[in-house]
Amino acid sequence: MESENNKKIDLSIPAMTISFGTKSSNTSVANVFASKGIKTIRDLCMCSEEELVRLPTVGYGRSLHIRKFLKMYGLELGMTEDELNAYETNAREEEMVAKLTEAIRELLPHLADLPNQTQQLNEASERMQTVMQDLLKKLEALLVRVNHATKLFYVERVAYENYKKEQAKDLWEKRRIELAGYLFSKENGCFCSNKEKAERAVRKADVLLNLLKNS
């Protein structure tokens, strides 16, 4: 039996989910249901209309009210165990379909925007590649300049070291000449030629300067 609004109800909920108007009416019907072992909607559906009509305080009027309530959820009186099991299975399947449909409905806007997001990602990737290529070119140019500056530094350093060596050499040579001249002037007591005096003065100057250098 199909429900009027395609709704389903849990068969395990109390039968007294059905309201009979007043509190006293609900209480009297509840007492009768309890005496007959009618606890849940499932129990109520397994009763026939004849059984309900014969129950005290139920009668035809309230039996009709019960039938209308059950009909809203695709149920009726006098259903078998197999029919109720099938109803529960169908209810679970419909609930799963409803949840799946809702999930798909929530996902659809994101799926619809996926091509745009993919295009944006591709454009961002292309821009990043361009930036990286530009950075690599700049880095290569910087490395060339650094290598050139390093070579120039070493060339200038070697030239400066050579200059310092030449300056020191010239200074020692100047001191050698000055010292040899001084020693030559002191060669008074020697009966030899000026050439010999000069050679002796130079030798003495060399010995003295070597001592100074080594010290």
**Alpha carbons 102 and 96: distance in angstroms, whole number:** 10
Same domain, 87 and 170: no
Containing domain of residue 137, as a range? 118-214
Structural domains of the chain, count: 2
Q: For 88-127, what is each residue's pLDDT tens digit? A: 898 888 888 888 888 888 877 777 776 777 788 888 888 8
Q: For 39-72, what is each residue's pLDDT tens digit? A: 999 999 999 999 989 988 888 888 999 999 999 9
Q: Name the more confident of 190 and 179.
A: 179
Same domain, 127 and 82: no
Residue 7 forms part of a structural domain: no
Of the candidates 83, 110, 137, which is a domain's last residue?
110
**Alpha carbons 191 and 16: distance in angstroms, whole number:** 153
**Alpha carbons 138 and 16: distance in angstroms, whole number:** 82
Of the candidates 110, 130, 153, which is a domain's last residue?
110
CA–CA distance from 93 to each of 9, 21, 40, 100 (Å)? 13, 34, 22, 10
Q: Are 16 and 26 contacting, i.e. CB atoms less than 8 angstroms apart?
A: yes
Alpha helices in the chain (DSSP H): 23-35, 41-45, 49-54, 59-72, 81-112, 114-185, 194-214
Same domain, 183 and 157: yes
Tell me if the pTM is above 0.75. no
